[in-house]
Structure 1
Amino acid sequence: MAADTARLICASADLQDSGRAVRFTLDGADGKPLSALALRYQGRVYGYINACRHIPIELDLQDGNVFDLSGQYLVCSMHGALYLPNNGRCVGGPCRGHGLQALPLHEADGQVWLNVMPA
């Protein structure tokens, strides 16, 4: 992928299965920074805007700590909403049926990249 269509997020080794997510920022449509997360679940990399669908606050109280104790769900630290890590769908809590905003991540050459449109 050409450098103008991808942005480096982190090294692949920085993401452990059901482990701590890597936080990064994106420019929102209004020009303000948006918090985002890169994480690994069942061997694959996923990316989401770091905002709960119930109340738009960051999921992680401690940087990158978004998995529940079982390692099977992403959990909002504020009110316990549960999301599936592989698609961001809310399966428990006040936002049931909604989903996190997914980001297009991929891995290449030992790095995690965000697919972006050329300027």
Structure 2
Amino acid sequence: MDGEAIPLCNSADLADGGLAVPFDVIYGGQTCRAFAVRWQGGAHAYLNRCAHVAMEMDWQPNRFFDDTGRWLLCSTHGAAYEPDTGVCVGGPCRGGRLVAIALTERDGVVHWHTAFNLKPIEF
């Protein structure tokens, strides 16, 4: 896995189809919000940026899943994304995809991985 592993949360903090865990990264020289979710047992993370228009997607804080817990939805234009791939399957960005952030889980902790264009925010 490329990049530095940064601890994000305990594995138990991510429930299938549940609330996301937010975090900040530097992407393209800008501070951007990102989020991690769990879908069918796997942890996945993306920039909180719709592929249609670069706007944050959550319809309430840390809520990205639709009512069924099946799709990640953009609150602005209703784009629907596959939770495990970030591919847009419905709405104005059909065929587009979210910017993925690599995650790993070990010893009950989820880590996100920096890459050439992602950097942690330093406090």
Using the aligned pairs only, state the percent identity.
44
Which residue does 1:94 correspond to in 2?
Answer: 92
Matches within 5 A, 1:105-116: 105-116=103-114
Which residue does 1:10 correspond to in 2?
Answer: 9
Aligned pairs, number:
116
Q: TM-score, normalised by structure 2?
A: 0.88
Q: TM-score, normalised by structure 1?
A: 0.91
Root-mean-square deviation over aligned CA pairs: 1.8
Which residue does 1:54 correspond to in 2?
Answer: 52
Per-residue CA deviation, residues 79-105 of structure 1 (Å, 9 max, x unaligned), is 110000010000000000000011100
Q: One-letter code of the match for 1:102?
A: A
Which residue does 1:20 correspond to in 2?
Answer: 19
| Among 63, 81, 92, the residue aligned to 1:83 | 81
Structure 1 residue 117: Cα displacement: 5.0
5+ residue gaps, structure 2: none
5+ residue gaps, structure 1: none
For residues 25 and 117 of structure 1, the distance between their equivalents in structure 2, rounded to whole angstroms, comes to 14
Structure 1 residue ranges, 4+ long, deviating more than 2 angstroms after superposition: 116-119
